[in-house]
Structure 1
Amino acid sequence: MTTSYKLTEPQLQHKALNSRRLMLFDMSCGGHHGAFIQHLIRYWGEHDLPGYMDIVVMPQFIKQHQDVVDLAASYRSDRLRFVPITTEEKAELGPWSTFARRKMRALREWSLMSRYAKNLGTTECLLMYFDTFQLSVVLRRKLPCAFSGIYFRPRFHYGDFQAITLSQKDRIRHLQERVHISLALGHPQLKTLFSLDQFSVKHLNKSSSNTQVVYLPDPVQTYPDSKFQANSLKANLGIEPGRLVFLMFGIIDERKGIHQILDAIAMLPPHLCQKLCLLLVGCISSADKPKVKAQIIKLSQLQSVQVITRDRFVMEREIQSYFHISDVVLTIHQRHVGTSNTLIRAAAAQKPVLCSDYGLMGEWTRHYKLGLSVNSAVVSEIAQGLTRFLQESPEKFFDSISARKFARQHSAEKYAETIFSYM
């Protein structure tokens, strides 16, 4: 069910103000945003949880994530509904274009969330992306209710990880982040902080006196028919026989290392290129598309590599099939902070990764033996990693038992169960 409101109208006041009423608040679309909400809807509906749940989103969320909206409608419950903000409210939030504008927008999002919580009669709010609101939390800005949040990008503890050399700038930034999150944890209305980084929890608990800090698995939903669909998918894509499929999935942009991977393939000798199929699945960033296209054209002229692109948004149910048809998954993000759903999907499909050695992604790859990790900023290291996979069996660099355990820890069911257990 989808409902749109003007906050000044009296009918916004719900009859059951004293009932448990949760609000999920997310002002972003695409990427993980739809899936994180979808898993909570499914758990809520299948377990018939008590109370009400309002999901406050951007207007375009309803169209972009129609499958998530349809899932909510399938439960035919007036206690579960989407509440898109108005186009006027969206315009008032402003752009993300500069650092200053991002900070101002984050402050405005907090004010908007406060207004919706008041008018919907919310008893507890879940910030689907806590990182955006850290400044408001540090400033002790109040809400009409208690709130919890999902913390995506802690990095103050990255000095604990092996293979990471911190610069002086990194150390200063990490110190600043420790101070900020310590101050945020002191907010009297902050009930639970869900951290997607398991290694950060012990540090966060040391800084918290009244807020619960809980590890939250980054969720992956698998479907029993994904392997069956993979059989026809490989044929439909036209993957040539005898090639190893290297998959890059998600928003294809500079941040994911697309330029570095194309440059690395260009360094390979012809006999290895003949064995390689690069499969790019997901929307190619408009900012990077011209350069990516030019690189692919040049690469195709110089080398016998096969490059296949699926430049579109992929529905949640379709995603895992692409991992099943792959031999190696590329996760060579550029100094990425936080988790990677792609890494978890690769483990669930029992596929090794060529991964950045930086941050949580690098630590996960080493800890669970998920594949090879390289300095993703150095093209020659990426080329060496590709060469090892092409010359030897990819399974040699992968521990299937450890990967399966890692994937099971990140089930969608466990993610939703953790959130509702602490709210």
Structure 2
Amino acid sequence: MLRAVGVLDERSIAPGEYMTGRKFVHFPDFTNEKYEENHPFERDLRAFKGNAPLILAIGHLQKAKGIMTLAELALNSSSSHLKFAFVGEGRLKRGTLRSVVKLLRNKPNVLFKLGRIPDGVAYNACIHASDILFAAYHDFAHSSNTLTKAAVFERPVIVSDGHLMAERTRKYRLGEIVKQKDPESALEGIIRITNDYQGWVSRNKPEWNTYRQLHSTAQMKCAFASLLSAYGLG
């Protein structure tokens, strides 16, 4: 007999328990936190960005992840002082990624590092080299460990308004919330951070450590213990 349910979206706990009479347990969206200094991926990105702020899109480079939005804002003359990196894999022969590469291939402030990211260490090296994580996804209502990565490495995020990522970003002050599919709004959010990074941190006081602890492997153990206790196994 079902007695408990584990969920990633904390918003479903109260209604779920009300409708089912079962215990709902929030599971953290934890991530690999391993980091190695002087990783080749980080060296490449730091050499590319120089002293400019680096905006990073990483992972599966597809339309739903907002890469066309990032491409359009990278074309804006107001973003010429910024650096942009697209790191990860996608369909280069056709589709959105091909369009992005075609638009930006001659821009000196844009870097493409395309292909499968070999492991979590390389992934984390890219995040450590960046200044802002771009996560203004399209119609994405779910949890994402991009926020956990951002909290681990203390990097502000750009997220689209209207869904769970925006709610968490707003609650823990993890970055800037922008209009979905709106390059100008996204650029404004980026500039609010990069114009005075330390000032932005001082004003917003992001709760990176709190968020990191809430979405940690230690918290996962607690969540499992809570599930087991519902079955009298704890």
TM-score class, shorter-chain normalisation, is 0.7 to 0.9
Letter in 1 for 2:23: Q
Q: Superposed, which structure 2 residues align to 1:97-108 within 5 Å?
A: none
2:196 aligned with 1:389:
no
Q: How many residues align?
A: 226
Cα separation, 2, equivalents of 1:207 and 1:292: 42
Cα separation, 1, equivalents of 2:102 and 2:198: 27
The CA deviation at 1:262 is 0.3
The CA deviation at 1:253 is 0.6
Q: Which runs of 4+ in 1 moved over 6 A?
A: none
Q: Superposed, which structure 2 residues align to 1:19-418 within 5 Å?
A: 189-209=1-21, 211-223=22-34, 226-230=35-39, 232-237=40-45, 238-269=47-78, 272-273=79-80, 275-284=81-90, 286=91, 289-301=94-106, 303-393=107-197, 396=200, 399=204, 402-418=207-223
CA RMSD of aligned residues (A): 2.4
The CA deviation at 1:287 is 7.7
Three-state SS of the structure 1 residue aligned to 2:55 is strand
Give TM-score scaled by structure 1 length.
Answer: 0.49
Using a 3 Å threshold, how does the CA distance of structure 1 residues 221 and 298 change in structure 2: closer, same or farther? closer
Letter in 2 for 1:348: V
Unaligned runs of 5+ in 1: 1-188
The CA deviation at 1:218 is 0.9
Q: Which has the higher contact order (CA 8 A, sep 6+)?
A: 2
Three-state SS of the structure 1 residue aligned to 2:28 is coil
Letter in 2 for 1:338: H
Cα separation, 1, equivalents of 2:206 and 2:140: 26
Cα separation, 1, equivalents of 2:157 and 2:30: 18
The CA deviation at 1:372 is 0.5
| Maintained 8 Å contact 2:28/2:220 | yes
| Maintained 8 Å contact 1:327/1:394 | no
Using a 3 Å threshold, how does the CA distance of structure 1 residues 407 and 359 change in structure 2: closer, same or farther? same
How big is each residue's C-alpha offset from its partner over 1:219-270, in whole Å with a ceiling of 9 and x where there is no partner? 12312xx15245x53323442412211111221111100111101211233x
| Maintained 8 Å contact 2:41/2:125 | yes
Cα separation, 2, equivalents of 1:247 and 1:395: 21
Using a 3 Å threshold, how does the CA distance of structure 1 residues 338 and 294 change in structure 2: closer, same or farther? closer
Unaligned runs of 5+ in 2: 229-234
Could you tell me which residue of structure 2 aligns to residue 16 of structure 1?
none
Letter in 2 for 1:234: E
Cα separation, 2, equivalents of 1:288 and 1:405: 42
Give TM-score scaled by structure 2 length.
Answer: 0.85
Letter in 2 for 1:246: I
Using a 3 Å threshold, how does the CA distance of structure 1 residues 291 and 206 change in structure 2: closer, same or farther? closer
The CA deviation at 1:190 is 2.5
Three-state SS of the structure 1 residue aligned to 2:177 is strand
Using a 3 Å threshold, how does the CA distance of structure 1 residues 393 and 401 change in structure 2: closer, same or farther? closer
The CA deviation at 1:304 is 3.6
| Maintained 8 Å contact 2:138/2:160 | yes
| Maintained 8 Å contact 1:260/1:377 | yes
Using a 3 Å threshold, how does the CA distance of structure 1 residues 293 and 395 change in structure 2: closer, same or farther? farther
The CA deviation at 1:402 is 1.1
Three-state SS of the structure 2 residue aligned to 1:404 is helix
Cα separation, 2, equivalents of 1:190 and 1:314: 39
Letter in 2 for 1:387: I
Using a 3 Å threshold, how does the CA distance of structure 1 residues 296 and 385 change in structure 2: closer, same or farther? farther
Cα separation, 2, equivalents of 1:373 and 1:265: 18
Bigger CA radius of gyration: 1
Letter in 2 for 1:392: D
| Maintained 8 Å contact 2:89/2:115 | yes
The CA deviation at 1:368 is 0.4
Cα separation, 1, equivalents of 2:145 and 2:119: 15
Cα separation, 1, equivalents of 2:183 and 2:200: 23
The CA deviation at 1:392 is 2.9
